[in-house]
Each structure stands twice: as C-alpha cells, then as structure tokens.
Structure 1
Amino acid sequence: MIDVPEGFRRMPRWWSDGSAWLDGLAQAVERQTARWGLEVDGDVAYGSNALVVPVTRRGEEFVLRMNPPGPEVEEQARALRWWDGRGMVMLYDADLEAGAMLLERLSTPLTTRPVAEAVAVLGGLMRRLAVPAPDDAPSTGEIVARRSSQLEPEWERLGQPFDVGILRQALDVAPKLTETTSELAVNGDLHSDQVLAGKREPWLTVDPVLLRGDIEYDLARVLWTRLDEMTEIVPHFDTAVGEAGLDRDRARDWVVFRTVDYWLWGLSVGLTEDPVRCARLVAAF
C-alpha cells in the first residue's frame, strides 16, 4: 500500500474539503490497481488536487491519477478524450466514480527548461491544441462577458488596489473579447507546470480545461507563471504570438484583461507574490 505524502495532505484544498478522501486514498489506490491489473512502479507525486502513481501493466508504463470524485474529473476526462493525444497526454481509461484516470507516463516538466524555450513551446502548443471544439464547451467570449461585470465591484470592495486607469483599460478591451468567430478548442489552464516531456511528441500538456473560442485566452498565464525569469517581457510575448500564429493586438488585449482579472482574484484570496507579477505584466503593455 502506498504512503500519501504529508506535502499533499497540507495542500490548501483540504483546508476546506476535509481529510476524509485523503484518509481513504491509500486503500482507493490499492483497489484501483487491482481493478485495472496494475503494479506500482515508483514513488508517488502530487499536485494541488491529485495524487499520481507510476504503474505498469504487462510491461507497459502508465501513471494512475487519483482525484476526489466529482464534476471536475468528468470534465477533464472529456477534455483528454476530445484532444485524443494531440499535444495532450493520452487517457487510456477512466473510472469517474473512483476519481481515477490511467494516463500515459511522461517525464521532465517544462519548468526545467529556460524561459525563452518554454514560452516558444507553449506558443506552439496553443496552436497544436486548436482543433474544432465541441459546441457546448464554455466560450471564452462568455467568460469575459460574465467576468467583466464583476471587475469594478471587486476593485471597489478591495479598496481600489491599483490605478483606475488599469481597470478602465481592461474594461475597454472586454467588449471586443466577448465577440469571437473562433470555434477552436482552447486549453484554459496552460503553463509550464502543466507541460511535460513525452515520447510521442516532444512536449505534452496535462490537466486541461476545455474551452471554445480565442486561443489567445491563456497567453497571460503563459507569461505570468515565468515572469520572474524575464528581464524583458515583450520579447517573450512576441515569441508566443509568433509560435501560436496569433493576432498581436488581440493577444495584447487578452493579456491585459486576463491579468487584471487574475490580479483582483489573487488579492481577494490573499495572494502576495502574484499581484506583484500582474502589476509588472500590465505595465509592460
């Protein structure tokens, strides 16, 4: 039976969700490996919401991912099946009631590569993932329409934490971003931590959020997650724009809106480092 790492037990999610699922996780892994004929093949790893166990079956290598059962597991399994290995980790099996997924085994994360290389890879993946999306996937335009109505009240509630001109800039570009003719698939959680080296393709994405619309949607996250490593920001922005084949002006508008959105959210939940990055990112544009 595996040991559940103490670091995983200390993740913020469990502060509100409680420890019941964690307490039964080792037994759940044991049941799932028996059900799928798997053997544990190394040390477990974890993120903020899931435990990942390296496993083998008849000599083939996989990982067993265990999440608390719920809608997010179903949504992620659907996204993985939609992309079906195109720039994305392959899903081989899923047990939604158990919160279990059997996935392709990957290796080194993109965070280990220099920032210039990582941004180029992420830009290429934005385009690689841009296949026609399902009609019922959430729209990037609808997300902006909903969120833009909340920005100013949040800014007021948080004590007007940055210049009103920055808020106005985000609100000014929002109407343009709500209108899109794109029906392409968008990964709404793309950054260096979510990309690992593969064998089928050099780099593959994990933990996707399937959206529909402008693939520029998560460019801000591509930048702010590696911002501390950037002496200058705009050249990295231009690299991603070029690799993804984006419209530069629209990409810039997306970066402004999404950064202000995240800035306010970060302040609302008590983040301290990310709001500083957001201020620097907005200033660059």
Structure 2
Amino acid sequence: MITVPQSFRRMPRWWHDATGSEWLEALPERVDVQCRDWGLRVDGAVMHGSNALVVPVDRDGEPLILRLAPPGDDVAAEAAALRVWDGRGTVRLFDVDAENGAMLLERLDGGRSLAGEPLERAIVVLAQLAISLAVAVPTTVRGTDQVATEHLESFERDWAALDRPLARRQLDAAMRCAEDRAHERPESLAVNGDLHFDQVLGGTRAPWIVVDPVLLRGDTEYDLGRILWSRLDEIADDAEVLRLFDIFTGEANIPPERARQWVIIRSTSYLLWGLSHHLTEDPPRCQRLLDIFVPSQ
C-alpha cells in the first residue's frame, strides 16, 4: 500500500476537518481498492496538491495518474468540466468513480509547473491557455456575471463583519466593478475559474497543460487577479505589475478595463475570504493589488 506524505497531512485543508482526517487515514486502502477495480499498478512516488492525492499508475503499459479527492469535493462536476474541454488545454480524463472521489487522468510532469518558469514567459503561457480554454458552452454553465452578482451582494456585509479591513474607497470601487460585471451578459465561452501557475504542468502532447480546472462561462480574464497575486512577491516594482497585466491582456486580446475590474473584484473577494479564514500571506498581496489598481484619491 502507498504511504500518505506527511506534507499532505499538514496542509491547511485538514486543520479543522475531522471527516478529512478520517479520509486521510483510509487513503492507502482506497488507493489499493481503486487500483484493483481499474487494473492499475502504482509505479511512482505519491504526490499531492493542497486538496487531492495524486498517484502515478500504469495500466497495460500506459502511464496514467490516479487522483483521489476528499469527501465534499464534487468530482462529478470536475469530470464533467474535463469532458467539456476534452483535452483542449486541459489534462485528459480516462475514467471517473465519482462516488469514491477518484479520477484516472493523463500523466503529466508533476515536478514541472509554470510556478518554476520565468514570470513573464509564464504570464504569456497563461494568456495563451486562457484563449485555448474559451470553447463554446451552454448558458446553463455558471456565469462570471453570477459570480459578480454574489460578490455585489456580499462585499459590504463581509467587509463590515471583518471590521472594515480595507479602505472604503477600495470597497466602493470593488462594488462598482462587480455591478458592471453583473449587469453585462457574458459570452457563452468557457473560462477556468482556477487558473494560475501551480495548476499548469508540463506535458508531452503539449508543452503546458491545465489541471484541476473549474468550469465557468464568461469573461476570459476572470482569474487574472489570482495570476498576479500568486507570484506577487517576486515583483518589487508596482509598475512591473502593471506591465505584466498589459502583457496578459494584450496576449489574450482582452479589454483592459474589463480585466482591471476583475482584478479588483477577485482581489477584494480573496482578501475578505482569506482574512475570515485566518490566512496571513495572501491578504496582504491582495491589498497590494488593490493599492495598485485603485490608487489613492
């Protein structure tokens, strides 16, 4: 049986989650059962992200990945999202057992992600992937306008509950941006709601491939804020942040003002969420982005 890495056990995801702790203890047996059911053989070191366990496996000579997600994760929705893209920019799905949180996926290079690439080059790749992911989807897919509506309804309440952690002018700006994005009907194009450097791995059929995408419909630049704050500590100069913003919007052919609105919305959202969950690193990064994109008056 496999051994669950201690680094996975220490992830914040499990700090206050009794059900998750039980799932962690049962993982070696779950992997064993899934391998028997799907005819797999473990053939590499166990890996993980912040949430799921990833096991290199072999089936009839084909290298694959067995991914196991914890209770509460909507694996059926994740599999459905992968089927929408069908390998266009994303990892390929070979099989799914939603009841047990298991997916059988294309093998990628888990040791090589865009997080390790030069920042400007990585930004260009993310912009190109965002374009590749913009396939047609039905209007039943959750829209970025719906996300904006939810933020418009919650921002002031959450801000007040957290004792007003950011300037009123920045909150007002975020609410204006959310209102704009909520009232503009988005295109029926797919967008990944979790696009950032760690979620793009090296591949063989393509140089870079997205893993764990979250399917939304609408504005391609939805997650540009996360892209910027993910490696913000590497950028000392605020002008450089704006230059990288311009590189992404230019490469993806996105209206800069619309992209600016999403950077403000997403930075405000994650700052408030992060503070409510006692995060210490990302909220200051989000605050720095707000200071850059909502300058003092």
Q: Which residue of the other structure, out of 214, 217, 224, is the alignment partner of 2:229?
A: 224
Give per-residue Cα distances to partners, 1:60-96, cap 9 Å, x unaligned. Answer: 1111101124452111111111100000000011111
Aligned to 1:241: 249
Aligned to 2:286: 278
Distance 1:208 1:29 in 2: 23
Aligned to 1:155: 159
Tell whether the 8 Å contact from 1:198 to 1:204 is kept in structure 2 after alignment.
yes
| Corresponding residue SS for 2:137 | coil
| Corresponding residue SS for 1:279 | helix
Give per-residue Cα distances to partners, 1:87-131, cap 9 Å, x unaligned. Answer: 000001111112111111111111110111111111111111000
Matched, 1:5 2:10: no
Give runs of aligned pairs for residues 68-217 of structure 1, distance below 5 A: 68-70=70-72, 72-107=74-109, 108-178=112-182, 179-217=184-222
Distance 1:158 1:188 in 2: 25
| Corresponding residue SS for 1:152 | helix
Measure how far apart 1:134 and its partner are: 2.9
What RMSD, in angstroms, separates the aligned Cα atoms of the two structures? 1.2
Distance 1:264 1:181 in 2: 25
Measure how far apart 1:181 and its partner are: 3.4
Measure how far apart 1:234 and its partner are: 0.5
AA at the equivalent of 1:214: D
How high is the TM-score relative to the length of structure 2? 0.93
Q: For the structure 1 residues 169 and 251, does the alpha-carbon distance in structure 2 shift closer, same or farther, using more than 3 Å as the test?
A: same
Tell whether the 8 Å contact from 1:70 to 1:99 is kept in structure 2 after alignment.
no
Tell whether the 8 Å contact from 1:76 to 1:207 is kept in structure 2 after alignment.
yes
Distance 2:68 2:178 in 1: 37
Tell whether the 8 Å contact from 2:113 to 2:198 is kept in structure 1 after alignment.
yes
Aligned to 2:30: 28
| Corresponding residue SS for 1:133 | coil
| Corresponding residue SS for 1:266 | helix
Tell whether the 8 Å contact from 1:67 to 1:73 is kept in structure 2 after alignment.
yes
Between 1:156-165 and 1:78-87, the stretch displaced more is 156-165
AA at the equivalent of 1:268: S
Between 1:130-139 and 1:99-108, the stretch displaced more is 130-139
Measure how far apart 1:278 and its partner are: 1.1
Give per-residue Cα distances to partners, 1:202-245, cap 9 Å, x unaligned. Answer: 11000111011111211111111011112320011011111211
Distance 1:126 1:144 in 2: 19
Distance 1:198 1:101 in 2: 18
Distance 2:23 2:122 in 1: 35
Tell whether the 8 Å contact from 1:129 to 1:185 is kept in structure 2 after alignment.
yes
Unaligned runs of 5+ in 1: none
Aligned to 2:271: 263
Unaligned runs of 5+ in 2: none
| Corresponding residue SS for 1:216 | coil
| Corresponding residue SS for 1:29 | helix
Identity of aligned residues (%): 52
| Corresponding residue SS for 1:233 | helix
Q: For the structure 1 residues 271 and 55, does the alpha-carbon distance in structure 2 shift closer, same or farther, using more than 3 Å as the test?
A: same
Tell whether the 8 Å contact from 2:144 to 2:186 is kept in structure 1 after alignment.
no
How many residue pairs get aligned? The number is 285
Distance 1:23 1:268 in 2: 28
Distance 1:181 1:102 in 2: 33
Distance 2:92 2:285 in 1: 33
Aligned to 1:48: 50
How high is the TM-score relative to the length of structure 1? 0.96
Tell whether the 8 Å contact from 2:145 to 2:186 is kept in structure 1 after alignment.
no
Tell whether the 8 Å contact from 1:87 to 1:125 is kept in structure 2 after alignment.
yes
